[in-house]
Amino acid sequence: MNITLNIFIFLILGLIVGSFLNVVIFRIDDLKSIINTRSHCQNCKKIIAWYDLIPFLSFFILRARCRNCGQKISIQYPLVEGATAILFVFLYLMYGLGWSLVFYLIVFSLLLVIFVYDLKTSTVPEILVWTALVISLLFGWYFGGAGILNMIAGGIIAGGFLFMLVYFSKEKWMGWGDVKIGVILGLLTGSLLPYGYVNAIFGLFLAFILGSIIGLALIFFQKKTLKTAIPFAPFLIFSILLTLTYGQILISWYLNLFIR
């Protein structure tokens, strides 16, 4: 099948999935309502017509306002839908068609919901974290042999380090949800050979670097202070994506600096 057509298909699929992920984010405290309740305006509660539910485009067609009551529509809708579309195309280009792609599409869809929800509320939805963790473990058996051992080692290293930070700081530096995401980071990146669990260490290091850069930038622009808590889960999740796709290149480059 033509790669351009595939890109278009995954772009559309990402927009559709992103629209669903928005619903999950807004209704995370009542997941049953996703099935039982149709999409409606958060303000006037009126059911939204199908032609106003076109992913990404409807936001701009309606000029970011509800057709019925005129209330502003959250910018979260097009951002999540657009981000999911880009993510789906990116993962397709990185992994091609196959079961690995299916797995990463599912896991990163869950992680994207956690990413946004943590940014909004500074809390991590336990049910989604545990779901992503279990799926990661099950997929680990696909690698077999040393692969699963490296996954477990990575999970223990990354999760264990964050566990110590949470435990000794009494949750002042980060929360228990971050520990579980750290385990997921270790499981997913630890499976990558030839470096195995070293990828998990690199991924954890990268998450702290990203967090430091963004934190300093927010302080510089006076959006935050040194005492302001910043959600850490988004940095862990973004680090998972970067480590899976470019981590081995960066690690090889770093090691070659010393080998030479």
For the stretch 20-31, pLDDT in tens is 999 999 989 877
Cα-to-chain-centroid distance, residue 232:
12
User: What does the alpha-carbon distance between residue 167 and residue 174 come to, in Å, rounded to a whole number?
Assistant: 9
Give the global pTM: 0.91
List of long-range contacts for 201-204, beta carbons under 8 Å, 24+ apart: 201/157, 201/158, 202/243, 202/247, 202/250, 202/251, 203/158, 203/239, 203/240, 203/242, 203/243, 203/247, 204/157, 204/158, 204/161, 204/162, 204/239
pLDDT digits (tens, 9 = 90+) for 79-125: 999 999 999 999 999 999 988 899 999 999 999 999 999 999 989 99
Residue 145 binned pLDDT confidence (cut-offs 50, 70, 90): low
Residue pair 155/191 in contact by the 8 Å Cβ criterion:
no
Dihedral (Cα; 29, 34, 40, 45), 10-degree rounding:
-50
Phi, then psi, of 40 in degrees rounded to 5: -145, 160
Among 84-88, 111-115, 186-190, 214-218, the least confident range: 214-218
For the chain, give every domain's residue range: 1-96, 98-260
List of long-range contacts for 160-167, beta carbons under 8 Å, 24+ apart: 161/204, 162/204
